[in-house]
Every structure is written in structure tokens, then in C-alpha cells.
Structure 1
Amino acid sequence: MPINLQEKILQAASELFYSQGIRATGVDAIAKAANTTKMSLYKYFPSKDELVVAFLRKRDEDFRLWFVAQIDSKADMPKAKLLAIFDVVSEWMAIPEFRGCAFINAAAEFPLEGNPVHQVSAEFYDKFRGYIADLARQCGSTHPESLALQLSLLIEGAIVSEQMKRRSGAADQAKQAAILLIAGSLDGAPNTPLPTHNLQD
């Protein structure tokens, strides 16, 4: 089924925003990539900001569906799924087209919390942490929300590290830290940044 012009514009914008950056990508370049005119673009997206938000919302939906499917294909049990997250992230970061996380990048380009672009980016990570927290609850974690935040911070840090230096091994190191955090949370350990009693074992 051929895509319509609105979808074509959004697809072209998505590719350019992710590969080149949002502020560095002009409306002229998007219209050219979509083989259309600025007038047609503005018919569907009255402003560049609205196009950016549409890009992020589509990215949110597509990425989360893909990500959960990848996790489910690798593991059946909640604890295994928590660790599989790091394997999926590692595989994603290894692709040649990897340019970091679109939502981290967007939030950095639009740092004011009240900005719609920043808000959509923050919402993505709220939902992502909610997904992790749900798995943590199924595992019997004593502090599922805290564990979800800790694991999310490991993932976000690994993504930024890999963006700064390819083949950094950050995802593997993050997974090793996650193993300790998950074990501590399931053992009823205090909610600390790292379960130091496990590190000493």
C-alpha cells in the first residue's frame, strides 16, 4: 500500500531529524527529501515544531512496539526480560545508522521543560521506566520503581557513551551493573545506588 504525502513528509523528516539533528534540519531540506513543496508540507504540519512532535510521537510508538517484541523474542520470564533489555540495546547500538536516542537528543536540543518537544521526550522515558517497573514487580522486586529508575539510568548512560565513542562496550558494562542491582532488589536489599554487599562477594 503506497504511503500518502503526509506519511512521506513525516518519514523524510524523521530520517533527517535523527541523522542530522532537529535544529540542523530545515524545512526546505525536508520538503526536498519528500519530493514536495514547503506549501504542501505546511498543509499537513503548520509549523516545524508540530512536525518535530509528530516525529517523536511516531518514533515513540514504533520504537516501543519493536523493543517489546525484541524482548519477548529473547526471554519468557520477567527477570530474564530485564536483562534482555541490555542485549536488545546493545544490538540496536551496533547498527551503522545508530545516532543515539532520538529522545535524549531532542531533549538536549530543546532543554526547557515546558517545551512540547522536551515534554514528549520526557514522556517516552516515563513510559519506558514504567515498562521496566512492571517487569520488576513481576520479579518480586522490593522497590520496583527505584530499580526501574536505576536500570533506566544505566541504559541512558550506555546510549550516550556509545554515541560519543562507538564500540565502547558500554551496554555490556551496564548489564553487569544491572545484574547486581536486580539481585539486590530481589534479595530485599536496601534501596541503594549499587548493592555494595553484592559487590564484595
Structure 2
Amino acid sequence: MSTRTGPRTGPGPRDRLLDAAQRLTYQQGVGVGVDALLKEANVARRSLYEHFGGKDGLVAEVLRRSADEDEAAYVRTMGAAGDDPRERLLAVFDELGRIIAAPDFRGCRYLAADLALADPEHPGRAVTRAYRERVTGLFEDELVRLGHPRPARAATQLLVLVDGALAVGATRPDADPADAARELAEGILSEV
């Protein structure tokens, strides 16, 4: 029987770990140390193992949570652009320009994770693959609606442009990579 009389305030250890790991793995990469994660989350080491089985499980869950948030952001961005599939797809590149211009932009979380996670069987790699497949599917749906002759191939090309814009945005933001990627995307969309 609990002696607690009021509702619990603040996030529990699991959520604090996720929040801290989501922040630190984006700022410092997935190689950030366990001790730094535990300190940032203000939790005991035991919480990491109880909730995630270890750091690999935490990293995979952070990537999963981020992927869900980012996929929802793609849907919102395209939805705000109206009903025209061409405009919906181009809006993605306009939004990338805003994201890259943000002072805390550090590049693509998924590309960085894939490069850092050398083991192809790491659970985080499956999450990044699934995320890219879902985003490609969003693009392909729009390309089908547009009547593109090669929607699957064009969706893959658009994702390459997104990945490239995010990578260049992290290393050379003055190159205006989102605008360059948008221009290339316009060429892909003009095949209709």
C-alpha cells in the first residue's frame, strides 16, 4: 500500500533517461558515455538496465522516439502546404532550410548514428532503416498522387537530397544546402 497522497510530479527515471539521451546523443553523438547520460538524467545505473537493458537499448529507443517525432513533423509540414503533391514535397526542403538555420542544428541524427554504430546488427540500425523506409513511403505516396512515372525511384532520390542537405547543413551551412536540394527536387518532380 502506498503512502503517497498526491499525484506524482515530474517524469520518472525512464522518461528522464530518454529525454537526456535524446538531447545528449544529438549534441554529442551516440558515443556519449553512460556516466554522462546517467548524470544528465539524474538516475542510477540500475534504471538504465531495468528500463532499456543497457545503452544499446536506450540508443535504439531514443532513435525510435526521434523517428516518430520527425515523421510526424514531415506529415505536418506537407499537410501545411496544402493538397498539391508537388508543393507538399517542396515544402519539405523549405522546412529543411529553417531547421538547418537553427542555432542548435547538429546534422542528421540518423546518419550520425548509422556512421557511429559500426555493428550492422545494433538495434539502432534497424530503427534508422525503418525510419528512412517510412519517410520514403511518405514521399512515394505524394509522387503517386502527382502521377510521377517512377515514384519509388523518385522517392529514393528525394531522400538522398534530404540526407545530403542535412549533412552539408552540418558541415557547410553557408552553402545553403536546403535551397540547392530544393532546386534538384524540382527537377525530379518535373518528370511528370
Q: What is the TM-score normalised by the length of structure 2?
A: 0.90
After TM superposition, the runs of 4+ consecutive aligned structure 1 residues lying more than 4 A away are none
Q: Aligned AA for 1:106? A: A
Structure 1 residues 15-73: Cα deviation after superposition (integer angstroms, max 9, x where no partner):
001100111x1111111111121122222122100000000000011111122112211
- Give the Cα–Cα distance (whole angstroms) in 1 for the partners of residues 78 and 60 of structure 2: 27
Q: 1:126 aligns with which of 96, 121, 133?
A: 133
Partner of 2:97: 90
Do structure 1's residue 65 and structure 2's residue 90 form an aligned pair? no
- Give the Cα–Cα distance (whole angstroms) in 2 for the partners of residues 5 and 89 of structure 1: 33
RCO comparison, higher one (Cα < 8 Å, 6+): 2
Q: 1:177 aligns with which of 164, 174, 184?
A: 184
What SS does the corresponding residue of 2:173 show, helix, strand or coil?
coil
- Give the Cα–Cα distance (whole angstroms) in 1 for the partners of residues 187 and 42 of structure 2: 51
Number of residue-to-residue matches in the alignment? 184
| Percent pairwise identity | 30
Do structure 1's residue 16 and structure 2's residue 16 form an aligned pair? no
**Structure-to-structure mapping, 1:48-59, within 5 angstroms:** 48-59=55-66
- Give the Cα–Cα distance (whole angstroms) in 1 for the partners of residues 97 and 170 of structure 2: 12
Partner of 2:152: 145
- Give the Cα–Cα distance (whole angstroms) in 2 for the partners of residues 112 and 146 of structure 1: 28
Query: Kindly tell me: are residues 40 and 115 of structure 1, through their superposed partners in 2, closer, same or farther at Cα, counting changes over 3 Å?
Result: closer
How large is the Cα RMSD of the aligned pairs?
A: 1.4
Partner of 2:6: none
Q: Is the Cα–Cα contact under 8 Å of residues 49 and 117 in structure 1 kept in the other structure?
A: yes
Partner of 1:190: none
Structure 1 residues 76-102: Cα deviation after superposition (integer angstroms, max 9, x where no partner):
211110111111111111111111111
Q: Which runs of 5+ in 2 are unaligned?
A: 1-8
Q: 2:142 aligns with which of 135, 146, 163?
A: 135
Q: Which runs of 5+ in 1 are unaligned?
A: 187-201
What SS does the corresponding residue of 1:167 show, helix, strand or coil?
helix
**Structure-to-structure mapping, 1:185-196, within 5 angstroms:** 186=192
Q: Aligned AA for 2:130? A: E
Q: What is the TM-score normalised by the length of structure 1?
A: 0.87
Q: 1:80 aligns with which of 71, 74, 87?
A: 87
Which is worse superposed, 110-119 or 148-157? 110-119
